[in-house]
Structure 1
Amino acid sequence: MGIGRFKLTKIRIKDLAPIILVMLLLFVSIACANMLIPSYASIQLEFLVPESLLAIPDAFFVLVSAFFALIWGYYTDRIDRSKIIMAGAFSWTFGMMLTAFSINYEMLIISRMLSGAGLGCVLPVGYSIISDSIPPDERSGWFGTLAILSSISNGVGQALSSFLGPILTWRFPFFLLSAISIVIVFVLFFVKIPQRGAKEEELIELTQMDLEYQYTISKEDLSSIIRKKTNRYLIIQSFFSIIPGTITIFFLTSMLNIYYFYQLPIEIRLQTATIFAGLLGVGYILGNSILSYLGDILYRKNKKNRTRLAAGCLIMSIPFFVLTLLLITPVQITDLDISYPATITTPDIAKYMFLTIGEIFTKYPNYIFYLVFGLIGTIFSAGPVANRNAVIIDVSLPEHRGTSVSFLNLSEQVGKGLTLLISYFLISLLGSIFNMMLFSTIFWIPAIILWILATRSVGKDLDAKSMILSERKQVSLLDYIFELEIQMDRAIQKVQDARYYILSRQDKFKTLLADAI
């Protein structure tokens, strides 16, 4: 690597600014997305809401986010992306502030919908900008890094709510992230966004000559995006594959808290449940780190390998996920060699929480296997996540990427939103949260089939995109040469005209010569 480059990437340091800023933006917005979950109990007490309605604000958040992602994504591919991302960032910042000031349950729902509208912008615009900043053979790695940040962000959002909420009220984390968002929005004014298609191999010559890729999306292109087989397979599989993850993220902490750790002191019960649920996220982070870069390595050998890797990983994740669930058992406080005080004071919460975690692993060895199998399962489950965005970006034309990601996000968010809307019906139907989580693994089967189909179509779609870009490059270069010849002819004519004024009118001579130059 040359001077001014990182060892692990070909991207120059000066070109990292938009990537870092967009990642920060996504980090904060995703933290906001799941921050309400641990505060359901507090919200239920404050607004006197039935338990069956607690997930409604988040369900509307997800559905509104999905709907607006499609609108934002289309205009991302059509007009200035800087304006779009500014508008979206303002929307979810305002939504978070409104959430913090909610005085009733109805206002909470409206504020979450506003936040969802903003998040629907940040995702497609962010992915579009990042894809134009990253070479094709590094996309899995960078999108895997983004998935890691998203996972950490989920954890940060829930941790802020779990640990600061009981002390400073559930509203404080929303105030905190609103302030951070305002700073990021301010910095956006000073960051240059890369041109569309800047890192495409077929368009490198245009970039080197400072020629802009002029193509933008039209309404007629929407059908062509859906007709592309790889896009269609990945969009549909996103609906199915998000269902088990949604149920796990939204209900594992609550399930542990209410049904398995219910004998623990109330001051540390939620925090302990959050940590046991969050430990599985470590595997997801490791999986994205390893499998995203493996996806790039395999892509350089064969451009179909990203889809093959994703399909294989999803197949492997199912048995480990099931084993992890089967290893969860209720914890009896009498089995723990800890003498709890009648009331645990705030300074002692961390002490008793970690003592409890240590005792659970000691007295209940099944939780060690819960952790091991859970880590392995979440490592494999990260394979499709790390590679799907790279695949859909790879097969899409530069002016289609925001919209393609929006369709992917729409499918995913609709799956997530519908899951949340019917979650309590499923709990009633199946008898428990545990049974619902176990049942959800069925939805990975159609997702696996669709990934296998994508391995058969991705090669043809990549070749078709490459051919279109090569033809457009030739047209752009011919237009440039033609325009250059016209300008040269005009310059020569002005030089010839200037000869007649070289002695008689010096000012006219200088003006014509300057125009010619």
Structure 2
Amino acid sequence: MNRSTTSEEATLELDWLESEVDSTTIPQYTSQPQHLLLQERDDGDEHINVNDDSIQQPHLPISLHLQQQRKLATTLYLITTSLLFADQNLLSPNLSTIAAEFNFDEMERDKKLGGDIAIAFFMVGVPASFIVGCLADVMNRRSLLFLWVILIGEGACMATYWVQTYTQLYWCRAMTGMSVGGALPLIYSVLGDYYEPSERGWVSGAVSMGCGIGISIGQGLAGVLGPRYGWRVPFLVVSIPAMICALGVWLLVGEVERGGGEKKSMLTSAKEKDVGRRICDEDERVLEMNTLQAIVQGAPGCIPWGIINTFLNDYLSSDRGMTVEGATLMILVFGLGNFVGVSLGGIGASYLYSIYGPRYPSLLSGGSAIAGCFPMWALLNYDYNNTNDSNSYESDENTNDGDMTTNNSPLFVLGAITFLAGAASGITGPIVKSTLQNVTLPQMRGQAFALLNTFDDFGRGLGPAFVAWMIEQMGGRRKAFNVGVGGWLFCGLFNGMLFFTVESDEEKVRMGVEGLMSNGDGEVVANGSNSLSNENERQSGSTLELAQLN
């Protein structure tokens, strides 16, 4: 016998149904809003159709609003990411010009402009990553936090336009580490709350794509505008739009519910009095991991990127005889290849995850990192001029022995090599970051990506400094660069090892989240928090091994 149900009773019944539906069956975000799906419950003679027009459906406007918000948020965050990485690459095309202005010789050029400034970036970026990452896990107004992080870092970028001494340049570039180091953990934390695990592959790919586009934009702007209008102008062109985008995030993007990518009933929250304790507890668990192993894994993968971002443009123009514009063109081709590689990585990760499970994306990521070494070596050692022994390591690297003005080799060969190097190097990044999102709990993602970004900063900062040291010890750039590119071999091996651990890590995280559901009120009590921390501590090193650079 059918029983009539009031609107209030039906709403309660809907809440009961939502608590019973498994998150893998009906995700929070779907192409068709879940409130439009037919949900029915049979209980003896009782039958309720949730889609009955007489029943109030409060989720309709919320779901549509969230879908619109995440599109806007993703777009603004991607644009800002591109501008941040453009900022980071504004010096490299004009290193020799800047060195001449400050009266540096060639060794001082590589050490001070390539190495010392990168170390300063690292020294500011690492604390920023940890502080902002922790705040991202406990603050509700993350868009305001994002605004302040960008204003500080990009304000320093804009101030670079007025520098007159090397000391002023040094500190302005150091403060830029605040925006790059602090923004990325925050971006990944927010986007992880907007998207489901199966969607995070292409989302992380989009962010990595933004990084690659930013590298190309920065190198391109500096390479084109620098010789014509001075090396300072590009800093204005990049910093002002970045601050406008951050302001747009604060004004236009609402705050997403923490853990929104997971099932709503699995979300956890802490009381205000527990916030400080929770940060300390989770940081303690992170610091108990094998930090030395993580640094060994992360640092080698960053060294080749230090070569590409800091030295490659100037190397092609100053050491190999190309014009600044020609070298910049090769960097743009590399960026185009990186764009394609990141796209393949994001799409490939989502496809492999959906069809074969979480283990196989790690094989794609590790294999591509190793494969990227070979076209990169070819780019560094390509015989630009077949009429002389330009590949001989005994030749003087400062005599432009491979003058491109006399190059009889087809230009498309050099372009093809550069494109392949960019494509192979771009696949790993989105896979690493999407996997890291999947093996961390919602309330720990900011701290997890702060740890990951620390290893990124380690490579971006100490990587170029290490390369500058190798240049001095080996007597030239080319030898040092060839050794540095080998870092991708280790990066690929460690990423491939995730094949054996990532599936169990994801399962342990899922079980830990489900364990919280037994609390009933969804609140993290002391025992619950410790239980989740122990689950992450028992993971077999996946989070650490994920700290590889793209």
Length-normalised TM-score, structure 2: 0.73
User: Which among 308, 314, 318 is matched to residue 363 of structure 2?
Assistant: 308
Kindly provide the amino acid, as one letter, of the partner of residue 116 in structure 1. G
| Conserved? CA contact 1:304–1:458, under 8 Å | yes
2:314 equivalent to 1:254: yes
Q: Distance in 2 between matches of 1:397 and 1:299?
A: 19
Aligned residue in 1 for 2:257: 195
1:384-399 matches, within 5 Å, as: 384-399=428-443
1:479 positional shift: 7.1
Give yes or no for the alignment of 1:64 onto 2:124. Answer: yes
Which of 165, 169, 181 aligns to 1:104? It is: 165
1:129 CA drift (Å): 0.8
Instruction: Specify whether residues 276 and 177 from structure 1 end up closer, same or farther in structure 2 by C-alpha distance, changes over 3 A only.
Output: closer
- 2:241 aligned with 1:180: yes
Preserved contact between residue 86 and residue 218 of structure 2 (Cα < 8 Å): yes
Counterpart selection for 2:174 from 109, 113, 130? 113
SS at match of 2:358: coil
Instruction: State the 1:171 CA deviation.
Output: 1.8
Tell whether the 8 Å contact from 1:253 to 1:277 is kept in structure 2 after alignment.
Answer: yes
- 2-structure distance, mates of 1:167, 1:418: 32
Deviation at 1:182, TM superposition (A): 3.3
How big is each residue's C-alpha offset from its partner over 1:79-107, in whole Å with a ceiling of 9 and x where there is no partner?
A: 23233212201111221122112121111
Which residue does 1:17 correspond to in 2? 72
Cα shift readout 1:269-314 (whole Å, capped 9, x = no counterpart): 1111111233122221111111210110101121112212211222
Q: SS at the partner of 1:422?
A: helix
For residues 507 and 87 of structure 2, the distance between their equivalents in structure 1, rounded to whole angstroms, comes to 39
Q: Give the superposition deviation at 1:468.
A: 1.4
Decide whether the 8 Å contact of 1:60 with 1:417 is kept in 2: yes
- The structure with the larger Rg is 1
Kept in 2, the 8 Å contact 1:260–1:331? The answer is no
Quickly say closer, same or farther: Cα 1:192–1:239, change in 2 above 3 A. same
Match of 2:447 in 1: 403
Counterpart of 2:338, as a letter, is Y
Match of 2:509 among 465, 479, 502: 465
* Preserved contact between residue 65 and residue 116 of structure 1 (Cα < 8 Å): yes
- Runs of 4+ residues over 6 Å off in structure 1: 231-235
Looking at structure 2, the residues matched to 243 and 226 of structure 1 have their Cα atoms a distance apart, in angstroms, of: 24
Structure 1 position 392, deviation (Å): 0.9
Preserved CA contact (<8 Å) 1:88 1:122: yes
**Separation in 2, partners of 1:197, 1:98:** 38
Q: Indicate how the Cα distance of structure 1 residues 167 and 67 shifts in structure 2: closer, same or farther if over 3 A, else same.
A: same
Cα gap change, 1:179 to 1:319, in 2 (>3 Å)? closer
Q: 1:195, 1:212 within 8 Å by CA — same for their partners in 2?
A: no
**Whole-Å Cα distance in 1 between the matches of residues 138 and 259 of structure 2?**
14
Which 5+ residue runs of structure 2 have no aligned equivalent?
1-29, 35-63, 388-402, 525-550
Query: How far apart are the structure 2 equivalents of 1:119 and 1:244?
Result: 19
1:324 to partner: Cα distance:
3.3
- 1:139 corresponds to 2:203: no
Would the alpha carbon gap of residues 2 and 119 (structure 1) be closer, same or farther in structure 2, given more than 3 Å must change? closer
Residue type of the partner of 2:326? T
Instruction: Map 1:150-229; keep pairs closer than 5 Å.
Output: 150-187=211-248, 188-200=250-262, 203-205=263-265, 213-214=269-270, 217-225=278-286
Give the 3 Å change call, closer, same or farther, for CA 111–324 of structure 1 in structure 2.
Answer: closer
Structure 2 CA distance, aligned partners of 1:49 and 1:63? 24
**Kindly tell me: are residues 133 and 243 of structure 1, through their superposed partners in 2, closer, same or farther at Cα, counting changes over 3 Å?**
same
What amino acid is aligned across from residue 199 of structure 1 in structure 2? G
CA separation of 1:12 and 1:234: change in aligned 2, threshold 3 A: farther
Could you tell me which residue of structure 1 aligns to residue 299 of structure 2? 239
In the alignment, structure 1 residue 54 sits paired with structure 2 residue 113: yes
Structure 2 CA distance for partners of 1:38 and 1:232, relative to 1, 3 Å: same
Deviations 1:475-494, CA, capped at 9 Å, x for gaps = 245779xxxxxxxxxxxxxx
Shift of 1:370: 3.2
Judge conservation of contact 2:76–2:245 (CA < 8 Å) in 1.
Answer: yes
Q: Distance in 2 between matches of 1:182 and 1:442?
A: 37
- 1:324 partnered with 2:351: no
**Conserved in 1, the CA contact under 8 Å of 2:385 and 2:406?**
no
Q: Counterpart amino acid of 1:13?
A: Q
Could you tell me whether the CA contact under 8 Å between 1:234 and 1:454 is conserved in 2? Answer: no
Q: Counterparts in 2 of 1:365-384, with a 5 A limit?
A: 365=410, 367-384=411-428
Correspondence for 2:138 among 78, 86, 89: 78
Is 1:364 the counterpart of 2:409 in the alignment? yes
Report whether the alignment pairs 1:149 with 2:207.
Answer: no
For 1:10-49, list aligned pairs within 5 A. 12-49=67-104
Question: What is the CA distance between 1:331 and its match in structure 2?
Answer: 8.7
Alignment partner, residue 515 of structure 1: none
Deviation at 1:123, TM superposition (A): 1.1
Q: Match of 1:511?
A: none
User: Aligned to 2:339, which of 280, 285, 309?
Assistant: 285
- d(CA) in 2 for partners of 1:252, 1:43: 16
Which blocks of at least 5 consecutive residues in structure 1 are unaligned?
Answer: 263-268, 333-355, 481-517
Of stretches 432-441 and 370-379 in structure 1, the one that deviates more from structure 2 is 370-379
Structure 1 residue identity aligned to 2:208: A
Maintained 8 Å contact 2:467/2:481: no
Q: Write the deviation string for residues 434-477 of structure 1: whole angstroms up to 9, x where unpaired.
A: 21121113322322332233221211211111011112234245
SS in 1 for 2:384: coil
Alpha-carbon shift at residue 214 of structure 1 (Å): 4.2
The amino acid of 1:424's aligned partner reads A
Q: How many residues are matched? A: 438
CA distance in 1: counterparts of 2:497 and 2:268, whole angstroms: 35
Deviation at 1:237? Answer: 2.5
Post-superposition offset of 1:33: 1.0
3-state secondary structure, aligned to 1:16: helix
Alpha-carbon distance in 1 for matches of 2:341, 2:487: 21
- Work out the percentage of aligned pairs sharing the same amino acid: 20
How far is the alpha carbon of 1:154 from its aligned partner?
Answer: 1.0
Tell me by how many angstroms 1:322 deviates.
2.5
* Alignment-mate amino acid for residue 449 of structure 2: V
The answer on whether the counterparts of 2:219 and 2:332 sit within 8 Å (CA) in structure 1 is: no
